[in-house]
C-alpha cells in the first residue's frame, strides 16, 4: 500500500491554498491595474478560507471506504508528479511567479495554470476521503472553477 494518506493529502491541499494566497497577494500588491488588484485580493481571501476548511477537516479525516491498493499506488505516482510541479514548490515559488508576472495577461495566465493544477489535485483528493469530507471538497472544487471562469473573463 502507498505511504500517502488522506491526512497527507489535506496537508498538501492546505499548502497549495497557502501558496495561492501568497501568489494572489503578491500580484495584488504590485499591480497598478485596479480591476486586477481587486480580483486578486479577493481570490487571496478565498484561498485563505479554503485553507481553513481543509484545516478543520484534518482533525476528523477518515479514508474513503473500499479503495484498493492499486488505487492508492496510482495516487502515490500522481502525488510525486504533482509535488515536482513548480506551482506546488512552496510560497517562495508562488512569490516568484507573482514577481515574474509583469503584465495583466501573464498574471492571469499564471493564475489560471495554478487553479487548473489545484483542481486536478482536489479531484483526486476527494476520492481519498470519507463521504462527508467529499462534500466539503466538492464545494471547494466548485469555487476553484469559479476562480478560473473569473480569470478567463478578465483575460
pLDDT-based confidence at residue 2 (cuts at 50, 70, 90): very low
Give yes or no for a contact between 31 and 40, defined as CB atoms under 8 angstroms apart. yes
For the cut 80, the answer to whether the pLDDT of residue 14 exceeds it is yes
**This model's pTM is above 0.85:** no
For the cut 50, the answer to whether the pLDDT of residue 149 exceeds it is yes
With pLDDT > 70 as the criterion, what percentage of the chain qualifies? 72
Average pLDDT over residues 111-122: 84
Closest by Cα among 113, 121, 94, 119 to 28: 94
With pLDDT > 90 as the criterion, what percentage of the chain qualifies? 21
Domains of the chain: 6-154 (1.20.1260.10)
Average pLDDT over residues 101-115: 84
Q: What is the pLDDT of residue 74?
A: 65
Closest by Cα among 68, 19, 12, 9 to 44: 19
Report the alpha-carbon distance of residue 143 to residue 149 in Å, rounded: 10
pLDDT-based confidence at residue 3 (cuts at 50, 70, 90): very low
Residues 77-98 have pLDDT tens digits of 666 566 555 454 565 666 677 6
Of residues 47 and 110, more confidently modeled: 47
Region of 90 on the Ramachandran plot (φ > 0 left; ψ -120 to 50 alpha; else beta): left
Average pLDDT, the chain: 78
Amino acid at each position: 500500500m502507498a505511504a500517502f494518506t488522506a491526512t497527507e493529502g489535506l496537508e498538501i491541499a492546505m499548502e497549495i491554498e497557502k501558496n495561492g494566497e501568497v501568489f494572489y497577494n503578491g500580484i495584488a500588491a504590485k499591480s497598478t491595474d485596479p480591476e486586477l488588484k481587486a480580483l486578486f485580493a479577493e481570490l487571496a481571501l478565498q484561498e485563505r478560507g479554503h485553507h481553513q476548511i481543509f484545516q478543520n477537516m484534518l482533525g476528523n479525516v477518515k479514508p474513503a471506504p473500499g479503495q484498493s491498493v492499486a488505487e492508492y499506488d496510482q495516487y502515490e505516482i500522481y502525488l510525486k508528479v504533482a509535488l515536482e510541479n513548480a506551482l506546488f514548490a512552496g510560497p517562495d515559488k508562488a512569490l516568484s511567479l507573482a514577481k515574474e508576472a509583469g503584465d495583466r495577461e501573464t498574471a492571469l495566465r499564471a493564475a489560471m495554470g495554478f487553479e487548473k493544477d489545484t483542481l486536478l489535485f482536489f479531484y483526486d483528493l476527494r476520492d481519498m476521503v470519507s463521504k462527508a469530507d467529499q462534500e466539503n471538497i466538492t464545494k471547494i472544487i466548485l469555487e476553484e472553477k469559479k476562480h478560473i471562469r473569473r480569470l478567463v473573463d478578465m483575460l
